[in-house]
């Protein structure tokens, strides 16, 4: 199972990002666990200034907006 973290203070784009990842994972039949990180300090410690960001297995793979479906497929691969 992959653990993904969505970094963002709770804005609309962060919700969209989490939902989109869930949908893509369901479609590809990949088991994922999504955690939302809303604490600013924790987000900063990942080095992300523009949210939403996505962390997969401890590494930031995306920052600065809602990822596209193709980008999510790469993250889940």
Partner 1 sequence: MFEVFTVLADQVTYSLFDLQPKSDMANALHFFIEDTSKIFFLLTLVIFVMGLFRSFLSPEKIRAYLEGKPKGITYFLAVALGAVTPFCSCSSVPLFIGFVEGGIPVGATMAFLIASPMINEVAIVILGSVIGWELTAIYVGTGLLVGMFGGWATDFFKMERYVEDYVWKIRTGQIVGPTYDNSLSGRITFAWGEVKEIVGRIWKYVFIGIGIGAALHGYVPADFFAKYASADNLFAVPLAVLSGIPLYSNATGVIPVAEALLGKGVPTGTVIVLMMSVVAISIPEFIILRKVIRIQGLAYFATFLAIAFICVGYLFNALA
- Catalytic residues, by residue number, are 11, 14
DSSP 60: E
Residue 27's alpha-carbon distances to 21, 36, 77, in angstroms, are: 10, 21, 13
Beta bridge partners of 6: 36, 54
Nearer to partner 1, 27 or 42 (CB): 42
Footprint of partner 1 on residues 27-66 (CB under 8 A)?
Answer: 40-41, 43-51, 53, 60-66
Smallest distance from partner 1 to CB 7, Å: 9
Tokens representing 43 are 């987000």
Q: Give residues in contact with partner 1 (CB under 8 A).
A: 9, 11-13, 40-41, 43-51, 53, 60-68, 70-71
């Amino acid at each position: 199972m992959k653990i993904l973290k969505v970094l963002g203070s709770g804005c609309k784009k962060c919700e969209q990002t989490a939902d989109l990842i869930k949908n893509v994972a369901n479609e590809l039949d990949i088991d994922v666990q999504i955690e939302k990180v809303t604490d600013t300090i924790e987000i900063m410690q990942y080095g992300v200034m523009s949210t939403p960001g996505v962390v997969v297995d401890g590494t930031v793979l995306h920052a600065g907006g809602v990822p596209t479906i193709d980008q999510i497929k790469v993250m889940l691969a």
